[in-house]
Amino acid sequence: MRSTITRAAATCIAAATSCNPCMPSSGSFKTQFLHEDGREQVTGFQMVGEIIGLDAISTDRHSCDAIALENSEVCELPFNKLESLSRELPSLQRHLHKIMSSEIVRSQGIMLLLGSMRAEQRLAAFLLNLSQRFAARGLSPTRFQLRMSRQEIGSYLGLQLETVSRAFSHFQDDGLISVRVRSIEILSLQRLQSCLNGSP
């Protein structure tokens, strides 16, 4: 089933509800959960073709909300039907396993970001990851729009808003990127990769 989600309507998956995973066919989303004190914690940003809500497969409940960052469309994925079909189609089963494996790798990457990287390394990793994902969709790896706010980036990377803004400014002053509001141009992928690796 395909649903249209406007940015004003926001949520396509709500925490503590029981429903299937879904996949954006257009637009983009963020996933987040609320701390007990009311603070929002962003846990990821999803693009076209990436599955949202895999957490409900094991718990039958979603642990976070998925919120549209722009007008978007999503396709619901009835997991029980996919599971039955995958028994008949080994290629589908392999694809599902690859998707789940990618989610594990993504979670490990977030742990690495938050555990061992400086602020500028975290932002470099974030921009390089977006670059790779845009390239995989046949889009420019060096010119793209950030649909999320600086505040949301900071929440995801475990950084304060001011720290994110300083890191963007530093990258621009050093000629690594060009920033126009939310339009990003990566001027040197190699130097951005060097920053991630800890080189000056």
- 192: confidence class by pLDDT, cuts 50, 70, 90: very high
% of the chain residues with pLDDT over 70:
83
Nearest to 130 by CA among 50, 55, 199, 23: 50
Domain end residue (candidates: 69, 91, 116): 116
Do both 4 and 43 map to the same domain?
Answer: yes
What value does the mean pLDDT of the chain take?
Answer: 83
pLDDT exceeds 70 at position 16: no
The CATH number assigned to the domain holding 190 equals 1.10.10.10
Structural domain including 167 reads 118-196
Do both 62 and 92 map to the same domain?
Answer: no
Q: How far is CA 114 from the centre of its chain?
A: 15
Do both 164 and 132 map to the same domain?
Answer: yes
Do both 71 and 84 map to the same domain?
Answer: no
Q: Any long-range contacts for 55-58 (C-beta under 8 Å, 24+ apart)?
A: 56/18, 56/19, 56/20, 56/21, 57/21
d(CA 7, CA 9): 5
Most confident of 6-20, 81-95, 115-129, 173-187: 173-187
Do both 136 and 99 map to the same domain?
Answer: no
* Kind plus residue range of the DSSP H or E element containing 31: strand 29-34
Do both 124 and 144 map to the same domain?
Answer: yes
* Kind plus residue range of the DSSP H or E element containing 13: strand 11-13
d(CA 121, CA 126): 9
Strands 143-145 and 40-46: unpaired
Transcribe 57-89 into DSSP letters.
HHHSS-SSEEEESSSEEEEE--HHHHHHHHHH-
Q: How far is CA 119 from the centre of its chain?
A: 18
> For the chain, how many structural domains are there in total?
3
What pLDDT, on a 0 to 100 scale, did the predictor assign at position 85? 79
What pLDDT, on a 0 to 100 scale, did the predictor assign at position 3? 58
The CATH number assigned to the domain holding 25 equals 2.60.120.10
Q: Is 103 exposed, middle or buried (0-12, 13-18, 19+ CB in 10 A)?
A: middle
Do both 127 and 111 map to the same domain?
Answer: no
Do both 1 and 34 map to the same domain?
Answer: yes
Tokens 């920053």 -> residue = 195
What residues form DSSP beta bridges with 66? 13, 31
Do both 172 and 138 map to the same domain?
Answer: yes
Please state the rounded mean pLDDT for residues 138-155.
96
What pTM was computed for the model? 0.82
* pLDDT tens sequence across 36-48: 787 889 989 999 9
Domain end residue (candidates: 46, 77, 108): 77
What residues form DSSP beta bridges with 44? 31
Do both 11 and 73 map to the same domain?
Answer: yes
Residue 137: half-sphere exposure toward Cβ, Cα within 13 Å: 18
Do both 149 and 191 map to the same domain?
Answer: yes
* pLDDT tens sequence across 76-121: 877 777 777 777 888 877 877 777 777 777 667 767 767 778 999 9
Domain end residue (candidates: 66, 89, 116): 116
- DSSP category for residue 198: T
Do both 17 and 42 map to the same domain?
Answer: yes
Lowest mean pLDDT among 4-8, 77-81, 106-110, 141-145: 4-8
